[in-house]
Amino acid sequence: MFSAVPRTGYVVFCVILVLTCSLYPVLKTLCVQIHSAVTGSYVAGYHSVLLVNCPTEQTARDIGRSIMEKRLAACVNIFPRTTTICFICIYFLVVIMFKSVILTGTHLCSLRAVHPYDIPEIISFPIDDGSQHYLKWMEDAVTDI
């Protein structure tokens, strides 16, 4: 016959196991942030580079200005007209590169709102490493997201 104490211990163990597994991403991020604060090391992936295609240079300037007014990016680079080959079509586009901290879905929606395309190409790449002084400048230049 089973006693109540081992069964209760088993239930508690299972609940702790399920909570730990479900909270793992949050706990991992928290541990990395604490480690970074204590050691002064860089947290990979906190900053990002976004690439956005635009139909014209004026559209790119308008989008860049809109993002900079909201301080969602530390810097905006607008590259000259490029040729894009997609399936059987050839497009001439202007590429914008934003350097920022990781943007959330809400902030990307504000970027989509000012973009003329129904489905704009917005691609984000995490920055794994870089100049500590530049990354700190980026962090200071962007408002708290």
Confidence at residue 77, expressed as pLDDT on a 0 to 100 scale: 93
Confidence at residue 119, expressed as pLDDT on a 0 to 100 scale: 83
* H-state helical runs in the chain: 4-22, 24-39, 57-69, 105-114, 132-141
Q: Residues near 21 by Cβ (< 8 Å), separated by ≥ 6?
A: none
User: pTM score > 0.85 for this model?
Assistant: no
pLDDT per residue of the chain (145 residues) written in tens, 0 to 9: 455 556 777 888 888 888 777 777 777 777 767 776 777 666 666 788 888 889 999 999 998 888 888 888 888 999 988 888 877 788 788 888 988 877 665 667 777 778 888 888 888 888 888 888 888 888 888 876 5
Written as one letter, the residue type at 108 is L
* H-state helical runs in 24-102: 24-39, 57-69
